[in-house]
Structure 1
Amino acid sequence: MEILQRILELDKDLFLFLNGLHSDFWDPIMVMVTRQEIWIPFFASILFFIVKNYRSKTLLILITLAILIAVTDQFSGLIKDTFQRLRPVHDPAIAQLVHMVMGKGGSFGFVSAHAANSVALLVLISRIFKSRGYYFLMLTWVLVFCYSRIYVGVHYPLDLICGGLVGWLIGWGLYKLMMFVENHFFFGRSPKIEKTAISTKDTGTMVLVFSVLVSTFFIAVFILRHYNLL
């Protein structure tokens, strides 16, 4: 128990350090980064290249993605209810020290569903696309996205690390399940997911979409601050 208590104390100290790295400029950007709906154009580009490259297997991939989101959400919620670890903004021991720039969210934060979802997507789609460029693009998004959860004050680092581990296991397991289904129920139909990789050009297009989206965040903040709207 002493070791666990020490780990939790270190987790709080690391949270306060990372959460304290804030500024008026970064506050609105991190609020945008942490909202999943902001990334819809990026996700839409991923969906487009799934349809483009995997054609007859698109439905199988989409069903797997839907199951992935449902399982990570439900399993994360189950762990939250089991451990009932308060989010930093609800923790009376440090709540007054937390830099908060948006709503507090639910009471419990261990594990992070955002981390579980994002890492599960990283694992599953990276295995499908088989592109090193896409992997590093998605990894960059996951790291920034997860850090934003600390920045806005709703998760400890350990919430995100453990959520990421949950997501990795779910993403890996569902990829294996998808391969089993393809090999036993879709045999003879091409393209084979396991043997089909996206092109460098397709990866470059997704990098472009991602870059334009991030640039839009910064441009929007610059404009709003220029006119004193932030």
Structure 2
Amino acid sequence: MADGRPQEVTEDQRQAAQLIWDYHHMRHELRPCDAAIALGCNDLGVSSYAADLYRSGLFPTLVFTGGNSAATINVFPRGEAVHFHEHALALGVPARAMLLEPKAANTGQNIAFAREALSAAGVRPRSVLLISMPYMERRAFATCREQWPGIDVVCASDPLSFDAYLKGMGDEESVISMIVGDLQRVIEYPKLGFAIAQEVPEDVYVAYKSLVRNGFTRCLLSS
């Protein structure tokens, strides 16, 4: 990776990443909720899946939240939420069913600002469906439980296999680095008051440390 080329991923590294991928999934059963929040990111599939869930009748109100980050500014120059909102409109989700929150710069703000947007619209949900990238489910859950105590949280993401997601995103090294970075945040953010603590199984932690040693570090927090 030092010369700028993607790192070749070995089968052992792929299996280690699969362990972490599986851990990130909360495996919540989908059920109707009072509102949904689609978390901004670099994956437009989140918006597509949110539209699918809306059409399934799982919620009446959908909030798209997210401004920009270094990872998304070139992909979604007008902001994650804006592009996600437009995509959902094109997929047939009515404007009256959607709220737009275009300022959040991190997951904590996604939750806090989406909550404010719902309240401003007169929606005070008792349950919320969090829609995220597949490997972000656990961090989204832990963050929401810290930032919005008492809310009933259900997590959802496009039910793709790990291999299918790798192929769809097209850059295995980058995806595995993001998966590793998310696990670091699951581990570290509770210490900073950003999220509730999550138990990390030993085999998942060993897989995480091995991938860090092998250079999948581009999405780790700055020390």
Higher relative contact order (CA 8 A, sep 6+): 1
Structure number with bigger Rg? 1
TM category, shorter: under 0.3
With the length of structure 2 as denominator, give the TM-score of the two structures: 0.28
With the length of structure 1 as denominator, give the TM-score of the two structures: 0.27
Between structures 1 and 2, the one with greater helix share: 1
Between structures 1 and 2, the one with greater strand share: 2
